Structure 1
Amino acid sequence: MKKLTIFLLLLGIFGSCKMDLDQQPISDATSETFFQTTNDFVQGVNALYNGLQKYPDRLMNLSETRSDNLYAISDGGVRDWEGINSFHKTIASNPYVQEAWYTNYNVIFRVNNFLEQLQSKGATVITDEGLRNRMEGEAKFLRAFLYFDLLRYFGKVPLIDHVVSAEEAKTIPRSNVEDIYTFIIGDLNKAVETLPVPAGYAEADRGHANKYAAKMLLGLVYMTRSGPTLGIEGAGQASNEWSKAVEQFNEIIASNEFLLLDKYADIFSYNNERNKEVIFNIEYASGANPVVGSTFPWVLVPDNWFNSLGLGTQGGLTIRPVSNDFMGTYVTDDSRRPFCIQEGYIYNKVAENRPFIKKFVDVTKVPASRMDWPINYIVFRYSDLLLLKAECILNGAPGNSSTDVDAVVNQIRKRAGLTTELANVTKSQLMDERRREFIGEGLRWFDLIRSGTVEPVMKAWIAKEDQAKQMSDFQLNYILYPVPQSELDNSPGLYTQNPGY
């Protein structure tokens, strides 16, 4: 098993080596040698962000593909996403499932090492207390972000807040969901306390986590915990913390740092990154060596479309069609439809009529390397915040549901070119609007779970969409993914597999 060193992290090496809890800690000697100056710590915290490189791809593979937005039955041989889409029971060794576990823990181990070095040497090495506190806030934001990701996919997971040895890792069981939430909220409260607003960063560091990103994540954590339990040990705890979420969102709104852009397409423009709608994004840089560009733009796009345009292959992928059900939700003149969805093409005189998501592709910006797309991924944006706040109000948080909710939904619809205004918007209508607004962004699956509608929606959708009878029946256990089989094999008896697998 490969051992990651600080040197490799600073080169931006992301690697695809297998990482699990049976790993050696990052070398103490390497850490002690490296962290000697303020600049060393600056480079160290910058390197932590490298671990988010594959996060957007994970959303496409595990969330978007799992939802009713895509009917991803492969027609070019069995693809790894098919078991995800079709609710197969035998996906404990699926590479997408393993990546979610291993990559998140890989970065958590880096964060823990960084925080221990900051604790032991930061006060001596970094004379600027504000910088030292900011670094702690960034690291804790990232750790909370990673644990929240693990929690939503797997439910109970091992909670590790310090550098551990290989032998110690083999003894750490999965923690209860409530304990994980307590830890996440603690990290986020520290991040809110210590992180600056976006303007508090130098221009070169503006892509780092800021105070409002921490508040946005904290609000989403409260909302997710407020969702119904659904009879599983998942993210929903029925905690009724909708008002706590709104408190976080209101502070972001009151800052006047963010606004809705006039045109939907401008949010995702390659020439308009870090625009006023962006609260937090994952930064990529095309043309670097080693490569630190993005790959998510082509994850849901078939190669033959690129080939039909004379742009060469990207990921060697076949089509993951957008579901007929989703396409049926559009109304005339919705500008999001032509921007987000490609509806057919011809390659080698063969017509492909099934639609697919091309939302993140600018065909004038296709890079020389398919691994090096020059576009950031927006994790949190202002339109999401406004619609999440509306959801909280519909669930009983302070606000006027007939005024505040309608105003937000109609504002989003107006931007999309829709002239018909809605009145007395219901939860179902709100979720439908979120589905169209965030198609391809990996939010739909989590929206269904948080709203408690995942079971009836998915069962009805499969019955309607799966005329070829390729999918398994949906059951609530499939809200969670299985613990990777390699983790079960690594420490026999330490973990119990999630039910249903």
Structure 2
Amino acid sequence: MKRYTFIIITLFSLTACSDSFLDVTPTDRFTQNTYWNTKEQGEAALNATYATLINSNSLFSARNAIYLDALTPNAYQYNADENIISRGLHNAATSTFNGAWNTCYTGIGRANNLLVNIDKVSMDESLKNRYKAEAKFLRALFYFPLWNLFGGAPLITEATNYETQANLPRNSAEELLAQILKDLDEAAANNALPASYSGADKGRVTRGAVQALKARVLLYAGKWEEAAAAAKQVIDTKTYTLFPDYRGLFYLENEGNSEVIFDIQYKFPEFAHSLDVMLDQQLGCAPLPGLVNDYYATDGRPIANSSLYNAAKPYENRDSRLQATVIIPGTTFKGASVTDIQYPSTGYGLKKYTIFKDNEKPTVVPTSGTSELNYILLRYADVLLMYAEAMNEAIGPDASVGGLSVSAAINQVRARAKMPNVPTGLSKEQMREEIRHERRIEFAGEGLYYFDIRRWKQAEKLLNTDVYNIKGNRIDSRSFNANRDYLWPVPSIAIQNNVALTQNLNYGK
């Protein structure tokens, strides 16, 4: 390293001797001025923007997205940043925050460069407009954590320029939200994006993905009527349906099924992850008893109020999503009976987002870096439940648009799991609790519950507690400071590099 550093310094010293050297355009590599010539180069730049999603520090990567559940009452992580954050021991130097911040700006920078330069390329105009729409969706997606988790960050929409952008102050959360919605509206305009793709283009941004992300952003912003309208627009396209088998929804052979609106693409060996190993060997987030106990009995009642619940056989007569999500001792998984000590972290394992099946012994034992199961960022069940929540909050439990009522949207999701309809005659507050329960159960192990308990302002009620395993033994504790932890800290290294950045409240300097 010292030798290479000396060579680089020497080269710079030599070129500094004459201004003429600085005027020479490099011929051994592309620059912004020489790159943008062909459709293939434009596509490569767009693909590089997508590739940021699977960066190991990206919050949208399979590992990091799913591990957000370990920051909630759903799951436990004993030896990574998630454990530090869940215990309230994090600070601005915690690596998760720096990785997320930097990766968001990597994606934003790549999207910006494409949007600023793509018009230089001579290519089919409809394809060029599609590339622009995809890039605007991706830019909105990368700004999402900076808005939702950090509460504001520098807003950059121009091509990368370190001289002018290195010392920008933070824009407000409201300004970031406005830009996110603007990008999504422009991405949806003029039918630049198709309703679906096939072949090599499958997995790219569609019209439905834009509207589904817009619905999520508006829901998280508490803009209920607008969120309901965006979700209903997705529903009315009739492009998506609930995949009939909840467990099968997450099988490798069913990737890109009728429920998937947008997923993060993986392919072995080029782009793979290690969730099969990490989840099965308890290196990842392990489900907690509180989550298991929250699955209703098959009569649609909480287990404390159901005559079907038998404490001696606690996993019988339960919502089918329980054993489709959680590995239970005494059941069959990977073609063998699950022992009491097989998942020692909490006593339970996470089945979702592994390729393993209940009655099939794996023919090949996965190793690190061999998993290629896509992470589903947006799916149709979420659209239905977002619609139900937004309509209930905006108007009430009897609200409907175009014949779709709040309860009908929820009941579609429940019916897939063979669960009864929500009770009739619920108040707005009662319906709110049913929706919140449904979201927890439907999306357990997918990372969404972390965003939910934050926007519902429930985190301080749910996360200041001890953590127990299946045997009732205390294994850890949780801490959430409501005066601080609803926002993540701006990374300390970002503030060191840019003195114009301000820190979030109660994180120090």
Larger of the two Rg values belongs to structure: 2
Residues 1:202 and 1:353: Cα distance change in structure 2 (over 3 Å):
closer
1:446 Cα offset (Å) = 1.1
Cα distance between partner residues in 2 of 1:398 and 1:430: 12
Residues 1:480 and 1:265: Cα distance change in structure 2 (over 3 Å):
same
1:202 Cα offset (Å) = 4.9
Between the two proteins, the alignment pairs up a number of residues equal to 435
Residues 1:353 and 1:500: Cα distance change in structure 2 (over 3 Å):
closer
Aligned match for 2:71, one of 61, 66, 72: 66
CA contact (8 A) 1:321 1:356 kept: yes
What amino acid sits opposite 1:190 in the alignment?
E
CA RMSD of aligned residues (A): 3.0
Residues 1:468 and 1:353: Cα distance change in structure 2 (over 3 Å):
closer
Task: Tell me, yes or no, if structure 1 residue 260 matches structure 2 residue 242.
Answer: yes
1:461 Cα offset (Å) = 7.7
Q: Deviations over 1:341-361 (max 9, x none)?
A: 113455999967611322011
Matches within 5 A, 1:238-317: 241-287=223-269, 291-299=270-278, 301-303=279-281, 317=283
Task: Tell me, yes or no, if structure 1 residue 341 matches structure 2 residue 326.
Answer: yes
Q: Deviations over 1:191-231 (max 9, x none)?
A: 011555555645321211011111111111111111xxxxx
Residues 1:372 and 1:150: Cα distance change in structure 2 (over 3 Å):
farther
Cα distance between partner residues in 2 of 1:408 and 1:461: 35
Partner of 2:22: none
CA contact (8 A) 1:83 1:91 kept: no
Cα distance between partner residues in 2 of 1:367 and 1:129: 48
CA contact (8 A) 1:258 1:278 kept: yes
Residues 1:117 and 1:144: Cα distance change in structure 2 (over 3 Å):
same
Q: What SS is found at the alignment partner of 1:386?
A: helix
Q: Deviations over 1:322-363 (max 9, x none)?
A: 222211112333221112111345599996761132201113
Q: Deviations over 1:256-298 (max 9, x none)?
A: 10111221112112111111111111111123xxx21234455
Partner of 2:462: 457
Q: Deviations over 1:288-331 (max 9, x none)?
A: xxx212344555x1526xxxxxxxxxxxx2x6432222111123
Aligned match for 2:287, one of 322, 336, 339: 322
Q: Deviations over 1:389-423 (max 9, x none)?
A: 00011102488349822222233223213246533
Q: What SS is found at the alignment partner of 1:280?
A: strand
Partner of 1:140: 136
**Which range is displaced more, 490-499 or 175-184?**
490-499
Q: Deviations over 1:28-66 (max 9, x none)?
A: 9523333211222122212211011141322233x3121
| TM-score normalised over the length of structure 1 | 0.79
Residues 1:366 and 1:115: Cα distance change in structure 2 (over 3 Å):
farther
Task: Tell me, yes or no, if structure 1 residue 477 matches structure 2 residue 484.
Answer: yes
CA contact (8 A) 1:65 1:84 kept: no
Task: Tell me, yes or no, if structure 1 residue 190 matches structure 2 residue 175.
Answer: no
Q: What SS is found at the alignment partner of 2:255?
A: coil
Cα distance between partner residues in 2 of 1:43 and 1:167: 26
Cα distance between partner residues in 2 of 1:196 and 1:269: 31
Cα distance between partner residues in 2 of 1:350 and 1:453: 29
Q: Which runs of 5+ in 1 are unaligned?
A: 2-26, 227-240, 305-316
Cα distance between partner residues in 1 of 2:392 and 2:97: 33
Cα distance between partner residues in 2 of 1:102 and 1:164: 14
CA contact (8 A) 2:464 2:478 kept: no
1:467 Cα offset (Å) = 4.7
Task: Tell me, yes or no, if structure 1 residue 44 matches structure 2 residue 49.
Answer: no
Partner of 1:356: 349
Cα distance between partner residues in 2 of 1:210 and 1:468: 44
Residues 1:430 and 1:466: Cα distance change in structure 2 (over 3 Å):
farther
Partner of 2:370: 372
Q: What SS is found at the alignment partner of 1:362?
A: coil
What amino acid sits opposite 1:105 in the alignment?
Y
